[in-house]
Amino acid sequence: MVDGNVGEAADAFGMDRWQKLAKVEMPLALPSIMAGVNQTIMMALSMVVIASLVSAPGLGVLVLRGINNLELGVGLVAGLGIVLLAINFDRVSKASMSRVNSTLQPRGEGR
């Protein structure tokens, strides 16, 4: 996702391969990387109930028990817990990304 012209400019300034990766390519690719991390977290949380089908411990077991035994309250509370975890993880990852973006943005001299 990094423009080729940026790599050419880094080469023109005499950066070696590792400097170009650490100082140019990684900061420019960081929004895409963090979007992938966020999606991975959301996918892991969506698999919680499916993982409980093979006896994995966690909130998914409570949702499964609520479904199997027609205990609406147990399933609803556990499902709400999973949703709240997903919302919190999403907000934390987006806040960390906005914080990283604010440190990467160039600041104007007279502003």
Amino acid letter for position 5:
N
**pLDDT attached to residue 107:** 60
Q: Please write the tens of the pLDDT for every residue from 41-80.
A: 888 888 888 888 888 888 888 888 888 888 888 888 988 9
Whether pLDDT at 20 is above 50: yes
- Would the pTM count as exceeding 0.75? no
**Alpha helices (H) in the chain, listed in sequence order:** 4-12, 17-20, 26-46, 48-52, 59-68, 72-104
Query: What value does the mean pLDDT take over residues 11-39?
Result: 88
Q: Residues with Cβ < 8 Å from 94, sequence gap 6 or more?
A: 38
Candidates 30, 28, 22, 37; CA nearest to 6 is: 28
Query: What value does the mean pLDDT take over residues 83-97?
Result: 89
